[in-house]
Chain A
Amino acid sequence: MEWEVVIGLETHTQLRTNTKIFSGASIKYGAEPNTQACEVSIALPGVLPVLNKEAVQCAIKFGLAINAHIAPRSVFARKNYFYPDLPKGYQISQFELPVVGKGAVTIQVPAVGKNSAYEKVVNITRAHLEEDAGKSVHGAVEGMSGIDLNRAGTPLLEIVTEPDMRSAAEAVAYAKKLHELVQWIGICDGNMQEGSFRCDVNVSVRPKGTEKLGTRREIKNLNSFKFMTQAIEYETRWQIETLEDGGTIQQATVLFNPDTGETRSMRSKEEANDYRYFPDPDLLPLVISEADKDAVRATMPELPEAMKARFEAEYALSSYDSNALTTSRDLANYFVATVDAGADAKQSANWVMGILAAKLNAADTSIIDSPINAQQLAQLLRRIGDNTISNNAAKQVFEALWNAEGSVDDIIAAKGLKQESDSGAIEAIIDEVLAANAAMVDEFKAGKEKAFNALVGQAMKASKGKANPAQVNDILKKKLS
């Protein structure tokens, strides 16, 4: 039987605020345990939550970015369960009336094997505001667990998709797109190691061609795209094998073990899903007006989709190039700055995504910290454009710029990289080469095409690599005809 995998994602994005969602305690990462755990974070009796305006604005930004319905009135609810890192005995979340309703994200699924790349729309069911829990620390004291409540109350936006994805590749393409988007609009720092962007993946399988969804298992807390691929592929295989062996799938929460590449069921918690949600009487309904939305809209950057379309129209870039350049706002801004400084758009795209990206990657540096700024790169590209230097020489100048050896023109002068474009001088060099290599000339005249390239090589060598190669070609052709 042929099987189809059905995948939906729930992503916890940590919002980029200064303080917690319901109190004025800092959420700075890496503080000493419990030094950012105020009376609200540790749930002392009598404290009251007060909603952070910035967290609400982040939610509105996200809603606008995915063209979603933003609820004019949404409600906070208590999700009740007991765990030591949740001192109130409930998490404040949103249940029936979330702040962000239905929306959509367009993803680019890369080519895998013999399947070519394609575009797909993933529908967003909802996104709601909630608070994070604290952390349990094991091993500090024998036989005990330590609780650090610094993270308790950190604002999260949980973004839930429809079960729209049909492969690990689609799920990862969606997660990457969402990761890019939340950073682009500035609501999340995207730091996956620090847990700022964590995905829960719901996986089920069903016979291909059938409608009814299979029983799903939820893979919790994936914080790397590589693990996500491995976990989904393992889980899919496991479910298919279980069903083909005549077994059934029990709804469960599973964890992925990166060391073994396997998923395993967490200790089954009976009645774990009975959260008995009810509206939190400590919080009034959150009201968002049209004016509130307009005010946030005015602060939004141009979105990647719009910028991609503009790159294709304004700079005649391919869909592939435009897409790659709009994966991050810093990258897109760098490209635009290069073009604005007078460089050719297609050439800028090639250099930014090619040589510069490779160099940044090798140095483990981001484009924002690039030792070569957009103006310098543009100057370099202009010197190729006006025939001052060859492409090869440009690569040497690039290296020197990276090492801060001076301006583009100073480096060209210091290294003697200026290209010889004086046709009289080139002609003189070629005459010498022809005279010294009579045998090659004879070979060429006898029909050996390769001899021509050898002569070009000799001429370039004679000019110490400075002759304009296109001119050398032209003049040599004329002389030999």
Chain B
Amino acid sequence: MALSIEDIKKVAHLARIEVSESDAAATLTKLTGILGLIEQMQAVDTTGIEPMSHSQDLSQRLRDDIVTKTNLRDEFQKNAPALGNGSTEPAVAGGLYLVPKVIE
């Protein structure tokens, strides 16, 4: 599968990673190399082998439905990111984390 610069830009956008024009070309070369590796692996005949969804052959441990967490809001909110505008105070108000306005 051949990747284009547009593919790189799309993937970067989806991951919210800023990639400059020059970086995009270098990234294209690297990612094409990785896809080449995958192509090589796909050449292996895996007929009859059950696909794995995890590298460890274990199953998920289940937790009892009991409340174990206490309210640590104040501790957590001391570490909330600042708003910018020169302020270094955590961006919280009325118990809420503040973010730039979301318009839906």
Contact = CB atoms under 8 A, between A and B. Distances in A.
Nearest to A25: B69
Contacts of B62: 50-53, 56
A26 interface: yes
Given A25-B69, A276-B14, A285-B53, A51 B96 contact: no
A279 B99 CA distance: 29
Nearest to A76: B60
B16 A37 contact: no
Contact of B16 (A75, A82, A271, A283): A82
Given A147-B96, A284-B58, A52 B63 contact: yes
Interface in B41-85: 53-56, 58-69, 71-73, 76-77, 83
Nearest to B91: A144
Contacts of A34: 73, 76-77, 95-97
Contacts of A110: none
Contacts of B53: 75, 97, 279, 285
Nearest to A89: B16
Max chain A Cβ within 10 angstroms of own Cβ: one of B77, B95, B99: B95
Interface in A92-144: 97, 136-138, 140-141, 143-144
A236 interface: no
A334 to B, nearest CB: 29
A145 B68 contact: no
B32 to A, nearest CB: 18
B66 to A, nearest CB: 6
A140 B16 contact: no
Contacts of B93: 140-141, 144, 146
B102 interface: yes
A84 B98 CA distance: 9
Given A141-B98, A144-B98, A266 B104 contact: yes
A284 B56 contact: yes
B30 interface: no
Interface in A1-59: 17-19, 23-26, 32-39, 42, 44, 50-56
Contacts of B94: 33, 140, 146
A285 B59 contact: yes
A212 interface: no
B65 A287 contact: no
Q: How large is the interface on A (under 10, 10 to 19, 20 to 34, 35 or more residues)?
A: 35 or more
A286 interface: yes
Contacts of A37: 73, 76
Given A51-B62, A146-B96, A24 B14 contact: no
Nearest to B56: A284
Nearest to A139: B101
> Interface size class for chain B?
35 or more
B100 interface: yes
A281 interface: yes
A148 interface: yes
B72 A50 contact: no
B74 to A, nearest CB: 10
Nearest to A44: B76
Contacts of B98: 141, 144-147
Contacts of B10: 271
A430 interface: no
A267 B104 CA distance: 7
Contact of A149 (B72, B91, B97): B97
A290 interface: no
A40 B6 CA distance: 35
A211 interface: no
B15 to A, nearest CB: 8
A86 to B, nearest CB: 12
A274 interface: yes
Interface string B1-41: 00000000010011110000000000000000000000000
Interface of B: 10, 13-16, 53-56, 58-69, 71-73, 76-77, 83, 91, 93-104
A-B residue pairs, 8 tightest by C-beta: A146-B96, A24-B68, A54-B65, A33-B95, A287-B59, A53-B62, A38-B69, A25-B69
16 contacts: A19-B69, A32-B95, A34-B73, A35-B73, A39-B72, A44-B76, A51-B62, A53-B63, A56-B62, A83-B102, A84-B99, A97-B53, A141-B93, A143-B101, A267-B104, A285-B53
Interface of A: 17-19, 23-26, 32-39, 42, 44, 50-56, 73, 75, 80, 82-84, 97, 136-138, 140-141, 143-149, 266-267, 271, 274, 276, 279, 281, 283-287
Given A137-B96, A284-B61, 13 more contacts: A18-B65, A24-B63, A36-B71, A37-B76, A38-B69, A38-B72, A39-B72, A50-B62, A136-B104, A141-B96, A144-B99, A146-B93, A281-B54
